[in-house]
Structure 1
Amino acid sequence: MGKLYLTRSCLPARRASSPALYFVKFEHCFCLQILLSLSFLVPLSTGYRFMRLLLFSLLLCVGCGNHLPESLGPARKIIVLADSTDWQTLEDPLREIFETVIYTPQAERIYEIALGDVNFLKAHKHEQRKSLMVIAPLNANHPTAQFVKEILSPEVQQAILDGRAGVTWKKDVWAKDQTLYIVSGKNIETTVENLFMESDRLYSTLENAVDHSVRENVYSFGERKDVTQELAETYGWNVRVPFGYRILETYPNFVVLARDNPNRWLSVYWEDDVHPDQLTEDWVIQKRDDITGQWFGGDRIVLGEVTVRQTEFAGKLAVVLQGLWENEAEWKGGPFKSYAFVDVDLNRLFFIDIGLYSPNKKKAPILRRIDLVAKSFTIHRAFFQDK
């Protein structure tokens, strides 16, 4: 994929029969005087005058990259700058790719798509959004397509026309902790094709950006370093324990961290002499029911409401369960997520489980926050070597 470039080069302007298009990388820092002069290299025809003023205002925002404004809005909400005519074709694919649903048990969208207008880039502060996407075909003549052409280099535009590129993204363009996504193609049909072709990478990039934003918020009030250290010194593993969490229960091979309002937990169970081949789908589901049935008063997985997949966790291949738990005796339930893996060097199964009980409230954002704490799980091997 080609790199993103912004308007014109820092080289001195030169006159020509037609304006020469030079481009500068986003990550370079330029003095305001150069930016001012470069912005006026845009042709002064009526069709370009608005774009010149728009780009100039963006250049003022960029200034020297060390002084970017704070980004606005939740990272999970993607503002999509697209022409209204293109939107009729783009809306369904965009929602299909990004607006995945989790059942908690209510259906909750993990990410949200919202249409924006490039003509109101400044007025609606779209340029400061944490997640901003610009999508338009190169053969269009509307302002969004013109905007795409102005921020992509000629080389990248040619690669798009040749079918060698179509999607790219850049961090911290016009605001701190911002991710700008650009999707294009030679026409609207190839633009949609490029969107689907790169959907996995786009989604993964969004996931990482949202995780970064949420993680900073989770630990913004501090970390219970005393609890984090206690776990490491007592059990040989730990997680970064955010402020507000406490150790609720401890057993020889089971620890529960909890926080109230709403009721949420993170538990770690471990067991020796479990072979990795034992971690089949049915075995892991039954193991969770055994653990929660013993220590959580009969909690169990709701049959038919669980997905099973594999992922990397703490540097190991882990089985992931995600779904709904229920407790019939207490008439309770909610979402959960579990990671099960075997550390072959220690000959030990670790089973990390998170969940919450929060009736009549959105649960997906809270589950994500607990999940990020779980993903900080670390094994301290020196602890076991000293045993």
Structure 2
Amino acid sequence: MNKKSRPKHLIFFLVMVAPLLLFSCKNKGGVHKPNISGSTGEMLIVMNDSVRSSAGGKQLESVMRQSVVALPQAENLFDVSIIPHRAFSERLRSFRNLVIVKLGPEQQTGIKYYKDQWGKQQAMARIFAKDTWELDSLINEDEVKLTGFFVKAERERSQRYYRKYINRNLTEKFQEKWDAFMIVPVNYTENKPGKDFMWMSHETPLVSQGLLVYSFEYTGHESISEAYLLNKRDSVLKINVPGPSQGSYMETENRVPVTYKRFLHNDHQIVEMRGLWRVEGDLMGGPFVSFAHIDPENSRIVVTEGYVYAPEKPEKRNLVWQLESVLYSFKFIEEEQQDTEQE
């Protein structure tokens, strides 16, 4: 790896402080707003009974209750409650994830998105349509943007929390090792260091949440194909992540499909894969989400991955979201420098 010389401890300080300063500045006007109500993943939809029973209302409810991909058991994307407008009291205005549906011939069809409208860190969407048929079409067209807005809001809430309680030693070690920044929460400890590998986890009697990091050479498009990334993943985990039994090791569960998509985040290309993992030689498994961060300037790919093991806890959606909030904080140092300078 061809690394440039940088004042890394200064960069680390700026990485930690700048987002907090920016956050406080942007929210000065919301100091007196109440805290949001509701638990992670809960959503309140305000629409009258006649709308709820229509094609458009059923479509909205179905979209918000759809199953989360790549979990071992079926779980809804959101835990939805629906009330009519007459029941929408002042007490409910600060609900964490809020959708308000208004229909009428005078309405201009569309969706408007709001943050911190009636509560700190609140996410709200107002949906307008002339009738239930327009509502149905609108939800079909904007499903990805609508659901993504609320999933991102949940992720950002977790990320704000983790920034307050960061493991500075492991975050600095991560930066030194990978020439990049990523939040490592304070309750994580390192399990097994390696030359091009890190394994950190948060362990409780019922839940294990792990973070895996490794890198390899980027040689072109073939390096980010689904088959190549999965083969690389299994070869790295076989060597570095042993199971509890002699000769056992973590690997991808290949009896269920793995999702694959590419997108741009924090000024670099990412390949995201989601699926299930298992332990060869033992009865262990759970969900994982993996981000391959492409760094062509240094001819490398850095993979950051989160996994959950919670056999006594069927609901794993929120645990995966927590890991995602950590993974989405990843930035190459050059990108973080540029962001700090612009701010």
Q: 2:325, 2:114 → 1: CA distance?
A: 24
Q: Which residue of structure 1 lines up, in the alignment, with residue 230 of structure 2?
A: 285
Task: Please provide the CA RMSD for this pair.
Answer: 2.2
- Runs (5+) with no aligned partner, structure 2: 1-28, 243-248, 336-343
Q: Which residue of structure 2 lines up, in the alignment, with residue 248 of structure 1?
A: 191
Q: Which residue of structure 2 lines up, in the alignment, with residue 145 of structure 1?
A: none
Displacement of 1:242 in angstroms is 1.0
Contact 1:79–1:129 (CA under 8 A) maintained in structure 2: yes
Matched residue type, 2:72? P
Q: Which residue of structure 2 lines up, in the alignment, with residue 353 of structure 1?
A: 305
> Deviation per CA, 1:330-376, whole angstroms, max 9, x where unpaired?
21000011112431111112122210211031212111111211222
> Deviation per CA, 1:42-61, whole angstroms, max 9, x where unpaired?
xxxxxxxxxxxxxxxxxxxx
- Runs (5+) with no aligned partner, structure 1: 1-63, 140-156, 383-387
Contact 2:57–2:136 (CA under 8 A) maintained in structure 1: no
Q: Which residue of structure 2 lines up, in the alignment, with residue 295 of structure 1?
A: 240
1:272-351 matched pairs, under 5 angstroms: 272=217, 274-297=219-242, 298-303=249-254, 304-351=256-303
Displacement of 1:248 in angstroms is 1.6
1:137-286 matched pairs, under 5 angstroms: 137-139=103-105, 157=106, 160=108, 165-220=109-164, 222-261=165-204, 262-272=207-217, 274-286=219-231
Displacement of 1:219 in angstroms is 4.1
Displacement of 1:69 in angstroms is 1.6
Contact 1:276–1:341 (CA under 8 A) maintained in structure 2: no
Q: Which residue of structure 2 lines up, in the alignment, with residue 151 of structure 1?
A: none
Matched residue type, 2:61? R
Contact 1:256–1:266 (CA under 8 A) maintained in structure 2: yes
Displacement of 1:273 in angstroms is 5.0
Matched residue type, 2:312? N
Query: TM-score, normalized by length of structure 1?
Result: 0.71
Displacement of 1:314 in angstroms is 4.5
Q: 1:96, 1:290 → 2: CA distance?
A: 39
Q: 2:329, 2:265 → 1: CA distance?
A: 9
Contact 1:104–1:334 (CA under 8 A) maintained in structure 2: yes
Indicate whether 1:77 and 2:42 are aligned: yes
Q: 1:242, 1:349 → 2: CA distance?
A: 23
Matched residue type, 2:238? G
SS at match of 1:198: helix
Q: Which residue of structure 1 lines up, in the alignment, with residue 9 of structure 2?
A: none
Q: Which residue of structure 2 lines up, in the alignment, with residue 26 of structure 1?
A: none
Contact 1:70–1:176 (CA under 8 A) maintained in structure 2: yes
Q: 2:217, 2:142 → 1: CA distance?
A: 42
Q: Give the length in aligned residue pairs.
A: 295
After TM superposition, which residue ranges in structure 1, 4 or more long, deviate above 3 angstroms? Answer: 217-220
Cα distance 1:342–1:172, how it changes in 2: closer, same or farther (>3 A)?
A: closer
Displacement of 1:310 in angstroms is 1.3
Higher Cα radius of gyration:
1
Matched residue type, 1:114? S
Contact 1:116–1:126 (CA under 8 A) maintained in structure 2: no
Contact 2:30–2:120 (CA under 8 A) maintained in structure 1: no
Indicate whether 1:378 and 2:321 are aligned: no
Q: Which residue of structure 2 lines up, in the alignment, with residue 114 of structure 1?
A: 81
Displacement of 1:130 in angstroms is 1.3
Q: 1:211, 1:341 → 2: CA distance?
A: 19
Higher relative contact order (CA 8 A, sep 6+): 2
Matched residue type, 1:363? K
SS at match of 2:192: strand
